[in-house]
Structure 1
Amino acid sequence: MDFGKILSRIKAILSSPQTEWPVIAAEPDTVGGLFRNYICVVAALPVIAYFIRGNLIGHGGWGMHIHTPLGLGLLGLVLHYLLTLVVVYLVALIVNAFAPSFGGTKDSVQALKTVAYAWTAGWVAGIAIIIPWLGWLVAIAGVIYGIYLLYLGLPHTMRCPPERAGGYTAVIVIIGIVLTWIVGLIMTGIIGTAALTGASMAGLHATRGEGTTATVDADSTLGKTVAVSLSPETLRGFLPEQLDGMKRSDFNAQRSGAMGMQISTAYANYSDGKDRSIKIELADTGNMRGMMAMAGAMAHSSEQESDHGYEKTYTDHDRLVHEAWNSQTKTGEFGVIVASRFSVKASGSGASMDDLKRAVNDMDLDKLSALKDEGVSNR
């Protein structure tokens, strides 16, 4: 398995799809070869990212930080991965079956190529689930771009007339959504049952300390062609020992990577030992900042209010800002995207929105912004 070749294909299909699709269509391949040498690797990226988020980093907000039990997380990882591969194969069968209906030519290998390379955008963007509060938007941006890739690819791989590619794409997208929804129901049912069954044996837990997971060697083939996210130690420098009179109760920082895509994250909890607590989360998306910029462009200004609080998203000094407050529970969160690369979020309970804003702004966002090109090179 040539990881350098896989990375080159990912970069080519995402950056220059108009010229890459004819190359893909002309390549000799097999169903088994596509799965072994590409799909099984790239499709694992969002699955691993979801596992890292839920089990190693944890889900936070509103003054809490929760980790999924390891056994449950591993079950979800395996099930999610296997179902993803099954859905890819099923959608490829559907692409092949509908080819004549849209003036195309049936070819099972070309159909699988179509799905595999069009879905690359969604798989790569799925890594962003690790990013606090904006990760889902990056993932959506990847899915939307994947639909565009599908539209561009069908005339080359399935040989349908370009003017009929739009309808062909729409049918495949609708079917893909239905299959994804079914997979979601299966995942929820099985994982939910396992969670209830094992509730008396395993519970939610928190971790402390700092660690790193897979990284890319700067001297390797991958390391010479990718951007490197900031080290956990660098991120730690932005999280002070004390915050607004509250002591840091725990700290966690790690760098996760797969196929040249790196994301570094760090968080720290602060408490006054009474009712007030704030959690700071910082993430560096490294070479996914292009997806972050696309997600930021998609996130239009919005504002919602209720009897118990409000939530709004807006732009302030070219930075995307999100804030939410629940006046009933006295909990809230305030997040900022810096230089289309860094995500900074403060969430807490017993602290006012002004406290959360001050906590984020005291982190010296200008200094963080100055690091936007750190580790980015084409060596």
Structure 2
Amino acid sequence: MLLSHAFGLFTKPDAEWAAIRKEHETPRRVYVAYVLILASIAPICAYVSTAHFGWTVGSERIVKLTEISALQLSVLTYLAMLVGVFALGYAVNWMARTYGAKEEHTPSNGIALAAYSCTPLFLAGFALLYPVPWFNAAIFLAAACYGAWLMYDGLPIVMGIEQDRAVFYGGALLTVGLVILVSTRVGSVIIWNFFVGPVFVG
């Protein structure tokens, strides 16, 4: 089962990347059996915490979203995560030949590399059940750092490239990841202004 890789990426990442490369799972299967499941953690936890627990900044009163607003924003977050993983996987495949990856491994392993590298960020979604901004920021920052390291570690194994090329390949992919992140933030502001904005409880 693909979900078993989530634990292995924290305990024995090199062996897990080698197993992922041998699987050659189709992008559709990786999405259905892994990304669709794990990417739902953060939106579900965010819905519960923002609609039912609320959060405070400093000593201010508890702030909550209405259930409909929290649901709408959680669904949009989920869709943004799915698009982000796909875009990152597409970038892995698109740049593969430039950095010497074997072409026959590219279609299946590029999306797998992106999906499994995002595992720490997916699992960090559980932290949203404790809606304290500084705590959530610290957890997601640590998860992002470990996810970046996982991608760097997995590039030579999964894509079949030399270790020295992985540094430049990984740097290029991190740049793409930042562009995707900024794009989703800008998109969120546009959507909030014109379509679905947060609605706070009274």
Q: How does 1:208-223 map to 2 (within 5 A)?
A: none
Return the match for 2:91 from 89, 94, 108.
94
* 1:267-294 CA distance string (max 9 Å, x none): xxxxxxxxxxxxxxxxxxxxxxxxxxxx
2: CA distance between counterparts of 1:49 and 1:26?
33
Q: What's the counterpart of residue 118 of structure 1?
A: 117
The answer as to whether partners of 1:76 and 1:187 remain within 8 angstroms in 2 is no
Q: How does 1:33-182 map to 2 (within 5 A)?
A: 33-61=29-57, 62-106=59-103, 107-131=106-130, 132=132, 133-182=134-183
Instruction: Report the CA distance shift for 1:27/1:195 in structure 2 as closer, same or farther (over 3 A).
Output: closer
Which 4+ stretches in 1 moved above 6 angstroms? none
Which amino acid counterpart does residue 45 of structure 2 have in structure 1? A
Q: Which runs of 5+ in 2 are unaligned?
A: none
2: CA distance between counterparts of 1:110 and 1:84?
19
Q: What's the counterpart of residue 15 of structure 2?
A: 19
Q: What TM-score comes out, normalization by structure 1 length?
A: 0.49
2: CA distance between counterparts of 1:156 and 1:143?
20
1: CA distance between counterparts of 2:196 and 2:119?
31
Which amino acid counterpart does residue 69 of structure 2 have in structure 1? L
Q: How does 1:293-304 map to 2 (within 5 A)?
A: none
The answer as to whether partners of 2:39 and 2:78 remain within 8 angstroms in 1 is yes
Instruction: Report the CA distance shift for 1:161/1:59 in structure 2 as closer, same or farther (over 3 A).
Output: same
The answer as to whether partners of 2:24 and 2:109 remain within 8 angstroms in 1 is no
1: CA distance between counterparts of 2:98 and 2:89?
15
Question: Which SS does the other structure have where 2:122 is aligned?
Answer: helix
* 1:184-203 CA distance string (max 9 Å, x none): 1112221344466x9xxx65
Which amino acid counterpart does residue 42 of structure 2 have in structure 1? P
Which amino acid counterpart does residue 170 of structure 1 have in structure 2? G
Which amino acid counterpart does residue 103 of structure 1 have in structure 2? G
What is the CA distance between 1:52 and its match in structure 2? 2.2
1: CA distance between counterparts of 2:193 and 2:128?
21
* 1:215-267 CA distance string (max 9 Å, x none): xxxxxxxxxxxxxxxxxxxxxxxxxxxxxxxxxxxxxxxxxxxxxxxxxxxxx
Question: Which SS does the other structure have where 2:24 is aligned?
Answer: coil
Question: Which SS does the other structure have where 1:99 is aligned?
Answer: helix
Which amino acid counterpart does residue 43 of structure 1 have in structure 2? A
Q: What's the counterpart of residue 184 of structure 1?
A: 185
Question: Which SS does the other structure have where 1:9 is aligned?
Answer: helix
2: CA distance between counterparts of 1:86 and 1:21?
23
What is the CA distance between 1:126 and its match in structure 2? 2.9
* 1:168-187 CA distance string (max 9 Å, x none): 11100111111111111112
Higher helix share: 2
1: CA distance between counterparts of 2:48 and 2:189?
18
1: CA distance between counterparts of 2:52 and 2:89?
33
Once the two structures are aligned, what percentage of the paired residues are identical? 23
What is the CA distance between 1:165 and its match in structure 2? 0.6
Q: RMSD of the TM alignment (CA)?
A: 1.8
What is the CA distance between 1:147 and its match in structure 2? 0.5
2: CA distance between counterparts of 1:191 and 1:69?
15
* 1:324-362 CA distance string (max 9 Å, x none): xxxxxxxxxxxxxxxxxxxxxxxxxxxxxxxxxxxxxxx
Question: Which SS does the other structure have where 2:16 is aligned?
Answer: helix
Question: Which SS does the other structure have where 1:60 is aligned?
Answer: coil
Instruction: Report the CA distance shift for 1:51/1:191 in structure 2 as closer, same or farther (over 3 A).
Output: farther
* 1:303-331 CA distance string (max 9 Å, x none): xxxxxxxxxxxxxxxxxxxxxxxxxxxxx
What is the CA distance between 1:88 and its match in structure 2? 1.0
The answer as to whether partners of 1:118 and 1:147 remain within 8 angstroms in 2 is yes
Aligned residues: 197
Question: Which SS does the other structure have where 1:77 is aligned?
Answer: helix
The answer as to whether partners of 1:76 and 1:191 remain within 8 angstroms in 2 is no
